[in-house]
Chain A
Amino acid sequence: MEFFSKGIIYNFMKYARVFIATTLILAFISLVLVFTKGFNYGVDFVGGTVVQLKYEQSAPIDKIRDDLAKDKLFAGALITEFGSPEEIVIRFSTVSDSVAQDIGDHIRTLLKDTGAFDIRKVDIVGPKIGSELRSKGIMSAILAMIGILIYVAVRFEWKFAIASVITLLHDITITLGAIILFDIEFSLDVLAAVLTLIGYSLNDTIIIFDRIREELEETKNTNFSEIIDICVSKTLSRTTITSLLVFFVVLTLYVFGGEIIHGFSFTMLLGVIIGTYSSIFISAPFLTLIGFNVEKYKANIAIKEKNRIEKNKMRSQYEKGTV
């Protein structure tokens, strides 16, 4: 079986402006969402308590709500079905700070008339832990990006480094926007998903850049748009296959993984689409936007090559004792 087997070069660059404009609009909308609506942070990040119950029969949500309302600790508690009618989740912002106190016991007493249930999970996160996690998460993401920037700058060229980090920022921004749009609760799993798709998207971009670097070394063509078209087209079947595989794996995770990893798998599904789109349509075209100059790049390579040859010559002369 073969996709894209005819060796056709697709003219991506012709529409580069359209793609970049679309992307900028999407990124802008995402930023607006991030700063206006904001994330629906889970207890992992803001603190609070989540209790997950599983009833032997359908959970009587109204009765649960009434019974919990008897205690003001549960004022404003959110009670929602979780995956199936038997399972419910109770969320509230209060955090008991004593180690010895048990919220599970308390709930068991309050809800004793609602039927037989099993407490599946109790998460209590203090506000201090939550905010620490948030700041450490952001900090490590920024440092990771600086690390990537340095690596790509050293192995490729600084404009490639900028383009790859911009692509990364683009993916993160739009994914975050989509998370808000689809009202996914921002939990640790979702953070893990965002980190994972950053990995995928970065890999996609690097592979296309690697192809461009290779092409630049081999071809006499100085038309950068054409080079990009050739490279993106040549890597297209690899990009498609890998993305499809990842997409289907994540889809099985979404379908069979159950409610527990829905946040993770749904974010991954979104991210794979966004990441694939950006590596094909955004990353390389963006290089032209920041003024990547083929002739200059080639001149640099030539200088480096010349230096290398000269060094070798010097060394061999030195070793022969002629200097």
Chain B
Amino acid sequence: MLSGKISYRLVIFVLAIIFGVGYSLPTFLQSDKGAKIALGLDLQGGLHMVLGVQTEEAIKSKVKSIASSIKFFAQSGDIIIDDLKIDEEMLTFTLLDKDEEKKIDEMLKTISGLEVSKESLRYTLSLNDKEKDLIREYAISQAVETIRNRLDQFGLAEPNVSKQGTDKIVVELPGIKTAEDEQRARELIAKAAHLQLMAVDEKRKDRTTTMSPIEAAQYGDVILPDARSEQVKHILKEIPVLDGSMLSDAKVAFSDMHQPVINFTLNSEGAKIFGDFTANNIGNRLAIVLDNKVYSDPVIRERIGGGSGQISGGFSVKEAHDVAIALRSGALLAPVTLLEKRSVGPSLGADSIQASSIALISGFFLIVGFLILYYHMAGVFASFALLVNFILLIAIMALFGATLTLPGMAGIVLSLGMAVDANVIINERIRELLRQGIAVRQAVEKGYENAMSAIVDGNLTLAVSSVILYVYGTGPIKGFAISMLIGNLISMLTAILGTHGIYELLMSYIEKNHSIRFWFGMKKRGH
């Protein structure tokens, strides 16, 4: 029987093995129970996008809304202001009546983050940097939220939307199979979904085709194209009756003609405005405008209470569905542009996994074969440690919820290499001592002792650099660094504790049975 001692090393090693096997099983079996390593999009196929959020647009639109509230305030208070102009992020106007200065100043004070400078009665307004930062921050978090909501309702498996840096969003859609799905997802993400209800300018509707946009602007009108045909134009009042911010719900329904339509519901404030407007404008038309295209312009027959309406306009069922999703989740405050897109077809992802698995497995057997051929039993122990190392790496990555990508696999290859190296260093040290004629027990003890500082320093220098790479690197570099760091720490554990514990357990047996050649693969006898 084995009469060796069971050391703390062995206990830790066995606990580590139990832990490793337990937490790596879900990954190996691909079961749904327990944490497992998710495959990166480069390995399983899918769509990865980096979107830039044009946060400056959100600032511009904030300035615009300040302009309209000043205009509204002036009109309702009978204050005459002139030459109200917006120049990018700047707003200027002139107050004509000096007596009203106090009123205007007080009103401006209620707007947060506004910087006001005055030259006699010429006002120049801009937002301070803090307010701009707040708007930018809000625009991006709102965009993340909106896109996430839209994709959740789209019914994709595990969409992942997250903020990156100060003005970027990363969208990951694993398992997108068809080009059609991809296109739908992309359109859903990019859709501004800006709904407006606008009054038709009945007085000038006959001149729609001849009027220039500049002329229209003079009447406070705007000319927008029809959703079905770009050639058909509509002339509408520029200031909308309502916009999508007052929307509370949107659903797909079917018209009497079995055409898909979108029924929307307004919140209480919207419902009141809608009710008042329809009551005062019976006989006129109200256009339903989505993303600056006119979908329909029905004639108002009666006051519409309850605040619900309908968008019809020759949608396909899918389109209607997507528009409803976009409306429900709200408009994007700032438009997004595509900075990076990587789409990997599922067939390529499968090929990548297959190729790298073959390489990893054949590499593993190559190492094991060599270790056993070269070190005999010591090689068997080292191979076992290597296997444990690999299982632990999988277990810990699964526990962290790490994603395995191709660069991540590079990190694993490196850390497994380090684990082999640690065992090689130890075995070489033991052999060196055995060659000097030192007895096996002392040679093993001293061998571990001597190898220790080299292994620790080698692993820790790498750990230092991987921590730095993780902190300062971007996406793929991070993936590489994290798997390397975890692997480093584990390889110290398995090499220093694991095999040492095995030797301690077997030591009396090793001393009595078989030759040095059997245990350590070298010719010289130690005793």
Contact = CB atoms under 8 A, between A and B. Distances in A.
Given A188-B407, A203-B421, A206-B454, 5 more contacts: A128-B52, A192-B410, A199-B418, A202-B461, A258-B355
Contacts of B190: 98-100
15 contacts: A1-B373, A128-B52, A129-B339, A143-B472, A144-B465, A152-B461, A191-B476, A192-B476, A196-B411, A199-B465, A202-B461, A207-B454, A242-B421, A249-B417, A253-B356
B182 interface: yes
Nearest to B339: A126
B257 interface: no
A100 B187 contact: yes
Given A102-B179, A137-B473, A143 B336 contact: no
A7 B435 contact: yes
Contact of B406 (A122, A145, A189, A245): A189
A139 interface: yes
Given A5-B522, A99-B337, A133-B474, A261 B406 contact: yes
A192 B359 CA distance: 17
B453 A210 contact: yes
B344 A121 contact: yes
Contacts of A244: 370
Residue from A52, A98, A144 with most neighbouring chain B CB atoms (10 Å): A144
Interface stretch (A26-34, A233-241, A291-299, A310-318): A233-241
Contacts of A248: 363, 366-367, 370
Nearest to A125: B340
B458 A234 contact: no
Interface residues of A, number: 81
A264 B345 CA distance: 21
A20 B89 CA distance: 61
Nearest to B362: A252
Contact of B182 (A104, A147, A152): A104
A21 to B, nearest CB: 28
B424 interface: yes
Nearest to A143: B468
Interface of B: 49-52, 179, 182-183, 186-187, 189-191, 336-345, 347-348, 351-352, 355-356, 358-359, 362-363, 366-367, 370, 373-374, 406-407, 410-411, 413-414, 417-418, 420-421, 424-425, 428, 431-432, 435, 450, 453-454, 457-462, 464-465, 467-469, 471-474, 476-477, 480, 484, 521-523
B421 to A, nearest CB: 5
Contacts of A199: 414, 418, 462, 465, 484
A108 B187 CA distance: 19
A75 B139 CA distance: 37
A210 B454 contact: yes
A118 interface: yes
B462 A202 contact: yes
Given A105-B183, A144-B465, A207-B458, A122 B407 contact: no
Contacts of B367: 245, 248-249
A53 to B, nearest CB: 10
A2 B522 contact: yes
